């Protein structure tokens, strides 16, 4: 299939899209004092503000609540960044797509790489919070990285599907932007499920909650539940079947949609 050839070509071009990703991160913070560390500082301030406000609303204990919120916000930022950026990635690279024969997956890979670089900076905020509350373990980040391939498999296909659909139908991008704002409040990030037992049953059917847990739980020193692991694996298998079928059909048409 053409998608496997494009996937192989995108892997061979890894130096190109990785360089693009790192260059974009550096460009955004060019001539600043702290450089890309502003990513970490911004995330730390945001997470601590949410923790302070909602911790008081729920009457939660800071040592338990703040690490939960910080890890959840960092995980959500990765998910939201991948989905939101995918909805605009092909139009952003319109001139490249129209003037070269690079596989479309190169641009998707760039988007994923850029978000992973930002995510790596956000992990520094997580480490700072966990150290402050005495919950940091040296194995926390390595254990989380063990589940990152499952995250990539279970969620990577979403970037391909969203990129194609948002290019074909321009209403998809604003729909996704608004939908992600709603889903942020329906995902256990600013609250712990046992704090609001009336909606705990609905969390199990929220796919984003499982992908957040896949990253957050190892950072907090816990193993993701077997249901979460199975959910992410099955979501990946079904999702890639959809992505492959859609990519094979849409690949020759993307340039015309631009």
Least confident stretch, 54-63, 70-79, 210-219: 54-63
pLDDT at 165 (0 to 100)? 94
User: Who's near 240: CB < 8 A, 6+ residues apart?
Assistant: 153, 157
Residue 76 has pLDDT above 90, yes or no: yes
Distances (CA, A) of 153 to 22, 52, 157: 22, 34, 7
User: Who's near 216: CB < 8 A, 6+ residues apart?
Assistant: 68, 71, 72, 74, 75
pLDDT at 32 (0 to 100)? 60
What does the block give as tokens for 204?
């199990």
Q: Per residue in 5-51, pLDDT tens?
A: 888 888 888 888 888 888 888 777 766 655 667 777 778 888 888 88
Q: How many CA atoms does the CB half-sphere of 108 hold within 13 Å?
A: 27
95, 111, 125, 112: which is closest to 153 by C-alpha?
112
Considering its fold, how many domains does the chain have in total? 1
Domain that holds residue 40: 2-257
Q: Per residue in 54-69, pLDDT tens?
A: 877 777 788 888 889 9
Please enumerate, as own/partner, the contacts of 208-211 that have beta carbons within 8 Å and a separation of 24 or more: 208/76, 208/79, 208/183, 210/235, 211/75, 211/79, 211/151, 211/154, 211/155
Mean per-residue pLDDT, 177-187: 89
Highest mean pLDDT among 4-18, 124-138, 152-166: 152-166
């Amino acid at each position: 299939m053409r998608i496997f050839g494009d996937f192989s070509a995108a892997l061979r071009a890894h130096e190109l899209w990785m360089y693009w990703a790192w260059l974009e991160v550096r460009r955004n913070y060019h001539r600043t004092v702290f450089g890309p560390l502003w990513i970490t500082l911004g995330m730390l301030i945001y997470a601590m503000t949410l923790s302070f406000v909602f911790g008081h609303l729920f009457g939660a204990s800071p040592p338990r609540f703040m690490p939960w919120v910080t890890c959840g916000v960092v995980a959500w930022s990765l998910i939201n960044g991948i989905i939101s950026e995918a909805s605009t990635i092909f139009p952003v690279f319109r001139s490249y797509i129209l003037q070269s024969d690079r596989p479309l997956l190169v641009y998707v890979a760039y988007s994923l790489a850029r978000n992973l670089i930002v995510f790596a900076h956000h992990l520094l905020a997580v480490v700072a919070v966990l150290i402050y509350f005495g919950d940091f373990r040296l194995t926390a980040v390595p254990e989380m990285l063990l589940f990152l391939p499952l995250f990539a498999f279970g969620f990577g296909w979403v970037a391909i599907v969203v990129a194609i659909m948002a290019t074909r139908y321009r209403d998809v991008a604003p729909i996704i932007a608004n939908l992600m704002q709603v889903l942020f409040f329906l995902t256990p990030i600013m609250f712990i499920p046992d704090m609001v037992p009336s909606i705990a049953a609905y969390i199990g059917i929220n796919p984003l909650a499982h992908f957040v847990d896949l990253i957050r739980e190892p950072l907090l020193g816990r193993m993701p539940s077997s249901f979460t692991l199975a959910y992410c694996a099955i979501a990946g298998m079904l999702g890639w079947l959809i992505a492959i079928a859609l990519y094979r059909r849409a690949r020759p048409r993307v340039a015309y949609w631009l």
